A = this chain, B = another copy of it.
Amino acid sequence: TGVAMMKFKSPPVNSLSLEFLTEFSISLEKLENDRACRGVIITSAVPKIFSSGLDITEMCGKNVEHYTAFWRAVQEMWLRLYGSSMVTVAAVNGSSPAGGCLVALSCDYRIMAENPKFSIGLNEAQLGIVAPFWFKDTFVNVVGHRVAERSLQLGSLHPAPEAHRLGLVDELVPEEKLMEKAAAVMAQWLALPDHARQLTKTMMRKAVLDRLVAHREEDIKNFITFVSKESIQKSLRMYMEMLKKRK
């Protein structure tokens, strides 16, 4: 059918580790180069969680080389996904904070299970960190400046119904209908001639993609400076402790 299915399966919470991100980017690249593949549906094989976002262990107590490799991998994933010439549909079947939300925001269409216990958002500020400018640009392109400003400052995690109301996700469906709906949406998007659709997508996203490309090394440096601060390391360690206790 020309449609690939990508299922995140890195228990317990599909953290975006360096390894996960590298594999994700390679998979996207392969599909991109496969002329038979015109679209990809992204979902999770882990119950209740789409992706918990960037793996905090990659940002704690590592050296500069590691931080550089990690951040470059985050950038690479986003550049590939947001700039993909394929139709990308996120079937968000669980919670999706921070980097997990970015993955969903980077797709062409977001369908979420209508479970109010599932939430989504760029909640970096809650952890004492700041979403990078290109997370913000992607978010603004979806929900507009005002919703983004408020949501980012509060580090909000929006329950599915609220996320839908704000336009963060396009549609809510009962969880058992999620894949069926994703397939139907994909079929609708694939009904269009690829070339015109791809050029149109590029036209809409190029400015934001180019901005990261132009500032990529600077963005890596910023990340390293930020993550190397003792105060940030402390925040992240506390957050990890809290996560461990929760389990």
Using a CB–CB cutoff of 8 Å, the interface residues on chain A facing chain B are 108-109, 124-131, 133, 136, 140-146, 148-150, 152-155, 167, 170, 188-189, 192-193, 195-197, 199-201, 203-205, 231, 235
Q: Can you list 21 A-B pairs, Cβ within 8 angstroms, ordered by A?
A: A108-B153, A109-B150, A124-B196, A124-B200, A125-B192, A126-B192, A128-B193, A130-B196, A130-B199, A131-B200, A131-B203, A141-B145, A141-B146, A149-B204, A152-B204, A153-B192, A153-B197, A153-B200, A153-B204, A154-B188, A154-B192
One complex includes copies of this chain to the number of 3
Cβ contact of A130, chosen from B142, B148, B200, B231, cutoff 8 A: B200
Which residues on B sit within 8 Å (CB–CB) of A145?
140-142, 144, 204
Instruction: Tell me which of A143, A155, A205 has the highest count of chain B C-beta atoms within 10 A of its own C-beta.
Output: A155
Complex CA–CA separation, A155 to B131 (angstroms): 33
CB distance from A196 to the nearest CB of B (A): 4
Which residues on B sit within 8 Å (CB–CB) of A148?
204
Complex CA–CA separation, A113 to B144 (angstroms): 26
Contact between B204 and A125 (Cβ–Cβ < 8 Å)? no
CB distance from A170 to the nearest CB of B (A): 8
Contact between B149 and A146 (Cβ–Cβ < 8 Å)? no
Contact between B197 and A125 (Cβ–Cβ < 8 Å)? yes
Which residues on B sit within 8 Å (CB–CB) of A154?
188-189, 192
